[in-house]
Amino acid sequence: MSHHFDTPTAKEDPRINVCDFYLFRGRPGTTVMALTVNPNAGVGAPDTFRDEGLYAFRFDTNRDLREDVAFKVQFGAPTHADGGEHRHVQTFEVRRATGADALKGAAGELIISGNTGRVVKADQGCLAYAGLAPDLFASDGAGFGAFRKALWSENRFAPRRSRIARTSSAARMSPPSSSRSPAA
């Protein structure tokens, strides 16, 4: 799933701009979940997560069209890291909610907590990372600029032969975080 500035709120505050969501099998018995937000973090936008926000991975595991398991991530207020004015750290908590708690709110069983910018490991083997990470997206600058102008300035999407279409890139992702299967 991918959304980029798909709501007015995300345009106003890029910290809640959900860009990509990944879910795939990790090591045996684990599931990897990754969520990217704020594509301009630390450059033209804050390098923090929104502390009033609730970032949630919600799953319907029994096909009744209602979420029955959710992993919810909340962040504390940002503070300056190591006295550095331009580097921030936040506390975070990941909760696993089931049933009615999976549908709304921040309730759930605490499964892992820590600070942004480092990999945290919980007693049950769950790993979590939240913080700045390199974006493996690559494109042709001129072609991407033309695409952005057409989409944002001219409100149109007209796929045609472009330098983007003739450019290929490959990326490999080595996920730093894994947890129990959503259905566990």
Residues 29-73: pLDDT tens digits?
A: 889 999 888 878 888 888 899 999 999 999 999 999 999 999 999
**Nearest in space to 57 (alpha carbons), one of 26, 22, 84, 5:** 22
Q: Sheet harboring 69-75: ordered strands across?
A: 55-59, 69-75, 91-98, 109-115
Dihedral pair phi/psi, residue 18, rounded to 5°: -75, 120
pLDDT digits (tens, 9 = 90+) for 107-153: 999 999 999 999 999 988 899 999 988 766 666 778 778 878 887 78
Q: What is the mean pLDDT of the chain?
A: 80
Q: How confident is the model at residue 165 (pLDDT cuts 50, 70, 90)?
A: very low
**Global pTM?**
0.70
